[in-house]
């Protein structure tokens, strides 16, 4: 059944809150303001509105999705990820996320079902993030920051929160840090908070701030 039509703004907030809550990360105004690119007071006002509409609760225990909020967020996430796949042959990998953000709000339940079918029920988006309900498909992949030096890995996932940053994504695409690509961890400098990888004949150095959003499969 099609629920009431939500505004793109509300849908964007719900999908970000979904990711934070799914990963047990605190949902705080400052973090949302940074991720969405608006001021803290704007976030506060929007959260109040979303709370009034019954999609989140806000109290001393923090901000949390209600059952209606989870349901709406799961739908937006699914449509977002299917829209990314829909454009995967037309646009650079690093630009799929932002473009999908603009289009996902216009996907109907019928179009969503057709896309799911046509795309063969993918379990992840083109960046390796799980469709709602498919979290088990990505559960064995570990953060790059947990991998020891000299280990060979296959890049599997660039987290949703990294997807939000177009500069990060363009850099990762240019350096071929994308799902399915093999890499070797060559150096980890704790004091410098950097991990250096060897990827397809070149070296790439990532700060831990980005490396922690990259998930890999370690090869034996
Ligand atoms: Zn995305
Ligand atoms: Zn994605």
| pLDDT (tens digit per residue) in 188-212 | 999 999 999 999 999 999 999 999 9
Q: Give the end of a domain, one of 71, 93, 122.
A: 122
CA of 220 to the centre of ligand 1 (A): 30
CA of 137 to the centre of ligand 2 (A): 15
In a domain, 135, yes or no: no
Cβ atoms of 154 and 180 within 8 Å: the answer is yes
Mean pLDDT throughout 108-120?
97
CA of 189 to the centre of ligand 1 (A): 30
pLDDT at 1: 45
CA of 7 to the centre of ligand 1 (A): 18
How far, in Å, CA of 182 to CA of 153, rounded?
Answer: 6
Distance of CA 24 to the CA centre of its chain: 14
Residue 4 has pLDDT above 70, yes or no: no
- Within this chain, do residues 70 and 4 fall inside the same structural domain, yes or no? yes
CA of 160 to the centre of ligand 2 (A): 6
- Within this chain, do residues 25 and 113 fall inside the same structural domain, yes or no? yes
Mean pLDDT throughout 56-75?
94
Pairing outcome for strands 142-143 and 56-59: unpaired
CA of 163 to the centre of ligand 2 (A): 7
Calculate the CA dihedral of residues 170, 77, 137, 86 and round it to 10 degrees: -60
Structural domain boundaries, residue 104:
1-122
Residue 3 has pLDDT above 70, yes or no: no
How many domains does the structure of the chain reveal?
Answer: 2
CA of 209 to the centre of ligand 2 (A): 19
- Within this chain, do residues 203 and 165 fall inside the same structural domain, yes or no? yes
Q: Give the end of a domain, one of 58, 93, 122.
A: 122
In a domain, 132, yes or no: no
In a domain, 214, yes or no: yes
- Within this chain, do residues 99 and 149 fall inside the same structural domain, yes or no? no
CA of 80 to the centre of ligand 1 (A): 6
Distance of CA 202 to the CA centre of its chain: 26
- Within this chain, do residues 8 and 99 fall inside the same structural domain, yes or no? yes
């Amino acid at each position: 059944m099609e629920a009431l039509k939500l505004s793109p703004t509300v849908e964007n907030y719900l999908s970000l809150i979904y990711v934070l809550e799914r990963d047990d990360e605190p949902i705080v105004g400052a973090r949302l303001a940074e991720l969405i690119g608006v001021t803290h007071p704007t976030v506060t006002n929007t959260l109040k509105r979303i709370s009034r509409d019954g999609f989140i609760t806000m109290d001393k225990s923090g901000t949390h999705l209600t059952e209606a909020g989870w349901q709406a967020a799961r739908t937006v996430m699914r449509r977002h990820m299917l829209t990314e796949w829909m454009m995967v042959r037309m646009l650079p990998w690093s630009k799929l996320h932002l473009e999908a953000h603009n289009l996902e709000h216009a996907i109907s339940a019928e179009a969503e079902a057709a896309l799911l079918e046509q795309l063969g029920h993918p379990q992840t988006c083109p960046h390796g993030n799980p469709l709602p309900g498919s979290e088990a498909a990505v559960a064995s992949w570990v953060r790059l920051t947990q991998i020891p030096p000299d280990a060979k890995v296959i890049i599997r996932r660039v987290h949703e929160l990294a997807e939000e940053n177009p500069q990060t994504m363009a850099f990762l695409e240019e350096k071929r840090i994308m799902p399915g690509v093999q890499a070797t961890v060559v150096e980890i400098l704790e004091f410098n908070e950097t991990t250096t990888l060897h990827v397809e004949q070149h070296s790439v150095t990532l700060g831990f701030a980005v490396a922690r959003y990259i998930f890999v499969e370690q090869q034996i």
